[in-house]
Structure 1
Amino acid sequence: MKITQKAAYILGLVTLVSCNDSLYQNTEISGERIPVDQQIKEDTAITNFIQPYKEHLNVTLDSTLAFNPTSLSKTDGTLNTAIGNLMADIVMEQANPVFKKRTGKNIDVVLLNHGGIRSTLNQGNISARSAYALMPFENEIVVAELNGLKIMEMLRYLEDAGTAHPVSGIKIQVNSDYKVTGAQIDGREIDSTSNYFVATSDYLQQGGDNMNFFKNPVALYNVDYKLRNAIIDYFSKVDTLDAKIDDRYIVVK
């Protein structure tokens, strides 16, 4: 039996309407808020199962790695702080050997962000838990190759911020209005025709904290090293922390 084009169209339309009638129905959904509090009884089987793992994790996190002779806070300085300098120097010391082995190049500058320092480091013994408090995020260290003009943009960003963003490998002098009056990388004035390798976190390289000068670098290198792991590794290899405010970023009147 042959079906005309018009008959086929009508048959398809009837089928579509019939399917729509059967597929779509009104549904009522209700929800209930269940508070997680002391009224919920503990499942002892689950508690007993995880207890040995919990004890092992606590021992790992709380074992002493190094000694901190004085309390360190990111509020202790204007343009550079002891804790910020420590973090930037840790990135330089821990990441540069990895970067050099892979590329044959050295990291020139480290730039982190003041807001990324999430805790103080108390005086006394410090542990892996201290590092987790200091850097709770899963940020990776990356190295962006920036030309000299991008470095100038970075300096203008620091001018406008007037904040102790942690730096290493660079010295910056500003006036009382926080305008840059001088800047040197590895002891030399910045060359607008040269490229520089700047280590930072993947968050900042992607424009976090409005650090847009990191976007579209000449090249971008992954170090495959979490910032927190670099801190833990550094704590593990030193006996006593040596962190101080210095002249790497200062006001010169």
Structure 2
Amino acid sequence: MNVRARVSGVVAALTAAVLLAGCGSPGPAVPDLSGPLPAGPFPAISTGDLPDAAPGEVHLFGLNDFHGNLEPPTGTNGHIGPYETGGAAYLAAHLARLRAKYPAGAVLAAGDDVGASPLTSALFHDEPTVDFLNSIGVAASSVGNHEFDHGVTELARLQHGGCAADGCTPGPRFTGAAFRYLAANVTDPAGNPPPGTTPWTIVDVGGHKIGVVGTVTPDTASIVLPDGIRGYTFADETDAINAAVPAMKQAGAETVVALLHDGGAQNTHGGPVDPNGCTDISPTVTALAHRVDPAVKVLITGHTHQWYNCAIDGKVVTQAASYGRMITDIALRFHDGTVDAKAVNRLVTHNLAPDPATAKTVAYYAGLADPRAKQTIGTATAPLPVESSPGGDSPLGDVIADSMLAAMAPQGAVAAFMNPGGVRAELSDGPISYAAAYAVQPFGNEVVAVTLTGRQILALLEQQWDNVSKPAVLDIAGLTYTYDDSAPKGARVLQDSVRIGDAPLNPAAEYKVATNSFLQAGGDGFAVFREATGTADIGPADLDALAAYLKSAGPIGAPPPRVQRR
């Protein structure tokens, strides 16, 4: 069942109340909280003291990985170092400052604008986030892998508007993104991009034509639901960017900006990470800059949720964290037939008044989601972290696997597998709210049970080292084993150590195992699931399974590791 259906009983009343509250006077003025930022481990640059633009200078304001965080994110996700950051109303306020100082400007985004979003956005199919991005004047965005979470059909709806399959969101009719989604390296067999997208576009800023091309990590092919992207190829990003440059130049582009939903990180060896530093940057970032056509002056990256500001091979290469916590302010200066680029990563701090119109809209959707969000569905006796144990499985991931096994045990399931990338947040000790559980599992997958032989289970475990990005140790229930990651490929799992329940694994026997629909379809490269025999048993939504488990199990703690590394 779609999450929105669970709040249908309260939506009508809340909608009426909020709309009535929105009529008449604009409400009390928001106090001006402008002031200096406290000292920290790196220079905290925000928007309080903006320099004048040089002659011939225009500005681009880069965002990435917003993930529908309309409300200020909490915990470590709501900070850059010691500074509280993020939230749509504060992001809009900082952008207003930038636009006032640099009216020749445009907002660009590097993907994952939506997807894996908090309830305030996700409950309404991320339509409130797209409307917010329209309101701040986003001119173009690359697709990210999360734009494909619900397949190319839903991506086209986000672009063009209209109601979702389960009905229309409260409020004004959704009209889609006013900006263009760019997908230069995503094509069908005929070479066409996904419906509603285009490889590149031209943005006119201050009378200058700027070519903007967008790409997404090729890993997308293995980290989203395969059925939603079937038939599409995710090709090399720099090849796609370079192939688009001649067409953009022919269309009048004076320079080119690449929006890449891919990136890396600084390595400060445990020290503070300066938002405007480029310390020991990942080789992947350097390789992107070296391989891209010299006509590309700026690479706005994303995907890794990191921050850096680099000058590599005559190009500016940046990333601005995630969740609306930072804006990359890029100055392009056109002079003497050349273009110079420089950038500053500016923190979206809370030491100024939030934008009132944005705050009002966010409060409207938060009010609709609030009754469901605050419902208590369980209790944790200790924190349940996402961080892996020495063997690779995580306490919270194993609890989710427990919930899938419990959901499918009536159908005969004896073990369960959970992909670690599907666990998006930790749970604190104490009461567990529906919103907290949703933040952990926001994708809406179904729990399923399939039949695998013992030999196939061994092959499945070996596929953990075939992941395109890095080893992906599955979280598990009903199963224990030991591995040696220094052993030869295909022999890392110690077969004699694998036990299901209290019995050694029998390679010739058949076992019914639970998982989610993403893994069942071969997601994250676990193709063995597609070799399952017979018809899959379909269970509840993954979040419903977790809620039912938390209710029936009573207070839960962190389980001991189930995977051992030799």
Same fold (TM over 0.5): yes
Aligned to 1:166: 475
TM-score (norm 2): 0.33
2:564 paired with 1:250: yes
**Percent of pairs identical after alignment?**
22
Q: Report Cα offsets for 1:206-225 as digits up to 9, x if no partner.
A: 11000000113112323231
Matched, 1:140 2:446: yes
Q: 1:92: Cα distance to partner?
A: 1.1
Higher relative contact order (CA 8 A, sep 6+): 1
1:213-249 alpha-carbon deviations (Å, 9 max, x no partner): 0113112323231111111122233441222223x21
> Is the 2:451–2:534 contact (alpha carbons within 8 Å) kept by the matching residues of 1?
yes
1:126: which partner in 2? 432
Aligned with residue 509 of structure 2, among 189, 194, 202: 194
**1:204 maps onto 2:510 in alignment:** no
> For residues 400 and 355 of structure 2, what CA distance do their matches in structure 1 show?
43
Distance 1:59 1:84, change over 3 A: same
Per-residue CA deviation, residues 172-216 of structure 1 (Å, 9 max, x unaligned), is 112363622221122222222211111111111111000000113
Note if contact 1:144-1:198 (Cα within 8 Å) is conserved in structure 2: yes
Please identify the structure whose Cα radius of gyration is greater: 1
CA contact (8 A) 1:95 1:230 kept: no
Distance 1:215 1:124, change over 3 A: same
Structure 2 residues without counterparts, runs of 5 or longer:
1-106, 108-132, 137-353
Residues 210 and 233 of structure 1: is their aligned pair in 2 closer, same or farther, counting only changes over 3 Å? Answer: same
Contact kept, 8 Å, 1:142 with 1:220, in 2: the verdict is no
1:62 aligns with 2:161: no
Change (3 A) 1:160 1:54: closer
1:220/1:81 CA distance change after superposition, 3 Å: same
Aligned residue number for residue 224 of structure 1: 539
The one-letter code of the counterpart of 1:135 is Q
Q: How does 1:1-253 map to 2 (within 5 A)?
A: 35-37=134-136, 55=367, 57-78=369-390, 79-97=392-410, 99=411, 106-158=412-464, 162-175=471-484, 177=486, 179-181=492-494, 182-246=497-561, 248-252=562-566
Conserved 8 A contact 2:383-2:558: no
Distance in 1, Cα, partners of 2:514 & 2:380: 25
Between the aligned partners of 1:122 and 1:183, the Cα distance in structure 2 is: 31
- Counting strand residues as a fraction of each chain, which structure ranks higher? 2
In structure 2, do the counterparts of structure 1 residues 222 and 189 end up closer, same or farther at CA, with 3 Å as the change threshold? Answer: same
Three-state SS of the structure 2 residue aligned to 1:241 is coil
2:377–2:432 Cα contact (<8 Å) kept: yes
Q: d(CA) in 1 for partners of 2:425 and 2:474?
A: 15
CA separation of 1:118 and 1:250: change in aligned 2, threshold 3 A: same
Deviation per CA, 1:133-172: give whole Å up to 9, x if none.
0100110011111123312211212355654411111111
The 1-side partners of 2:426 and 2:383 are apart by: 7
Distance 1:184 1:76, change over 3 A: closer
Q: Distance in 1 between matches of 2:554 and 2:503?
A: 33
CA 216–244 in structure 1, closer or farther in 2 if over 3 Å, else same = closer
Partner Cα distance (1:118, 1:225) in 2:
20
Q: How many residues align?
A: 206
Query: Is the contact between residue 446 and residue 517 of structure 2 (CA under 8 Å) also seen in structure 1?
Result: yes
Would you tell me which structure has more helix in proportion to its own residues?
Answer: 1
Higher mean alpha-carbon deviation, 71-80 vs 198-207, is at 71-80
Call closer, same or farther: CA 1:238–1:198 in 2, change over 3 Å: closer
Equivalents in 2 of 1:184, 1:239: separation in Å?
27
- Alignment TM-score, normalising by the size of structure 1: 0.71
Partner amino acid for 1:126? I
Question: Aligned in 2, Cα 1:203/1:61: closer, same or farther, shift over 3 Å?
Answer: same
Distance 2:553 2:435 in 1: 16
Secondary structure of the 2:519 match is helix
C-alpha separation in 2, matches of 1:40 and 1:242: 42
Distance 1:165 1:86 in 2: 12
Letter in 2 for 1:190: L
Distance 1:64 1:41, change over 3 A: closer
| Aligned-pair Cα RMSD in Å | 2.9
- Which structure 1 residue ranges, 5 or more long, are not aligned? 1-32, 100-105
Give yes or no for contact 2:417–2:474 (8 Å, CA) kept in 1.
yes
Task: Give the letter for the 2:428 counterpart.
Answer: N
2:387 is aligned with what amino acid?
T
Amino acid at match of 1:249: V
Which one is further off, 146-155 or 114-123? 146-155
CA distance in structure 1 between the aligned counterparts of 2:435 and 2:372, rounded to whole angstroms: 9
